[in-house]
Structure formats: C-alpha cells, structure tokens
C-alpha cells in the first residue's frame, strides 16, 4: 500500500508541469507540443525553461 501511495504522489508531481503547459495560453500548436515533450523526456528543468523562455517567437498582433 505504501509503495502504491508513493507511486501516486510521484506521478502527481510528474504530471503537474504537463498539465500547466497544456492549459497555458503562452504558447500554442507545435511549440506547445515541443514543450510538453521536453518536459516528458527532460523533466522539471524543461518546465523551468518554459516559464522563463516561452514563447520562443513573439506574437504579432494586428491593429
């Protein structure tokens, strides 16, 4: 039971950055997918980079 609980806690903390990027409006499309894949394969460091660097390209707004 304790092992299962530890596994669930680990999974919860692993999924937080993925959900945060998924619902964020800072990026969209392919860039969002790239950040999510980076978090999956590189872990929390990618999420910290996301918070500091995203979006990589500035958006152009037409007036």
Burial of 60 (0-12, 13-18, 19+ CB in 10 A): exposed
Q: 33: alpha, beta or left, given left = phi > 0 and alpha = psi -120 to 50?
A: alpha
What is the maximal distance between C-alpha atoms in the chain? 58
Residue linked to tokens 């980076």: 38
pLDDT digits (tens, 9 = 90+) for 3-58: 999 999 988 988 988 999 899 888 888 889 998 898 888 877 887 888 888 776 66
Q: How far apart are CA 39 and CA 1, in angstroms?
A: 28
Give the start-to-end residue ranges of the domains of the chain. 2-53
Q: What is the pTM of this model?
A: 0.69
């Amino acid at each position: 039971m304790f092992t299962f609980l530890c596994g669930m806690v680990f999974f919860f903390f692993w999924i937080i950055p993925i959900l945060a990027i998924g619902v964020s409006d800072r990026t969209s499309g392919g860039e969002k997918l790239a950040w999510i894949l980076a978090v999956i394969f590189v872990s929390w460091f990618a999420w910290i980079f996301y918070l500091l660097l995203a979006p990589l390209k500035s958006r152009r707004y037409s007036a």
